[in-house]
Amino acid sequence: MVGRIRAPNRVPLYQVSQRTGRGLPVPCVHMRPTLRLVTPLRFALLVAVLVTACAGSTSPSFEPTGSCTSDGSVPGAYPELEALVPALYMDVAPGILDSGRNCSAANLGSLVDLGITEMRFAGGTWTFGAERAAVLAVFTAPGLTAEALADVYLDSARTANRTKILGASTPTVEGRSGRRLDTQTGPRLQTVLVWPSATTDQVNVVITNDLPDARIDDAVAAFEGR
């Protein structure tokens, strides 16, 4: 048992690339982190995201209202979603807080097969030096589930370069069935934890880079059961 996260079931290792592959539903929560992730949903999110993050990921034509014609994120795009992101993690406010949406097949990945054509998200980014960082995010779309979103991350990881999948598991998070993906790119260890929100069609996500399980547990607690 690791804090609130229990009984992971491991699966075989896979080789994945960090900067290529299908889009991953993780916000370009401007780490200025893509998981490019975040372009807002890329698995390379953590390393690229946490270092250069979504720089330039938002299209000049990005508009948070009306029909979704381009992917993007900016601070204040969806205040109601940003309000769901924990205000504090480790007693510190996020260095960056923004929100946006994805509507391209490239960033929605396998969600398109489920009939999802637009997904909105909001996320906060915390950095702690030496490339240690965390993103706490919320995603929402009609019909969105934690399993579906986790599959997007896993698909992206499996096709990425220089990234090894250390394990994939199905932990119980706050009494709900979640999904966890642990990977390594060079010396960096990344974890993506996805679990259902208490609100239908909404999913919570924690992404960490070089942080121990205790800090992942703190991130889950920061959502306060939401």
Chain segment 5-27, per-residue pLDDT in tens: 443 333 222 122 233 333 333 44
pLDDT of residue 60: 58
Q: What is the C-alpha to C-alpha distance for residues 17 and 20, in angstroms, rounded to an integer?
A: 6
Pick from 108, 114, 139: nearest CA to 41? 108
pLDDT bucket at 115, cuts 50 / 70 / 90: very high
Instruction: Determine the Cα–Cα distance for residues 197 and 14; give it in Å rounded to an integer.
Output: 28
140: helix, strand or coil: strand
Contact 158, 144 (CB under 8 A): no
Domain-located, residue 46: yes
36, HSE (Cβ side, Cα atoms, 13 Å): 7
Domain assignment present for 107: yes
**Vertex 140 angle, CA 95 and 86, to 5°:** 30
C-beta separation of 141 from 114 below 8 A? no
Provide φ and ψ at 107, rounded to 5°: -95, -20
Whole domain around residue 39: which residue ranges?
5-58+68-222
pLDDT at 84: 97
Which residues does residue 138 pair with via DSSP β-bridges, in sequence order?
Answer: 122, 204
H or E, element range at 216: helix 213-222
8 Å CB contact between 99 and 77: yes
Single-letter residue type at 78: Y
Higher pLDDT, 142 or 45: 142
- The pLDDT tens digits of the residues spanning 196-208 come to 999 999 999 999 9
DSSP assignment letter at 2: B
Helix (H, G, I), strand (E, B) or coil at 125: strand
pLDDT at site 37: 37
Count of domains for the chain: 1
164 within domain boundaries: yes
175-186: average pLDDT: 93
pLDDT at res. 155: 86
Q: Where are the alpha helices (DSSP H) in 109-189?
A: 146-158
Assigned domain for 63 exists: no
Look at residue 116 and tell me if it is in a domain. yes
Would the pTM count as exceeding 0.85? no
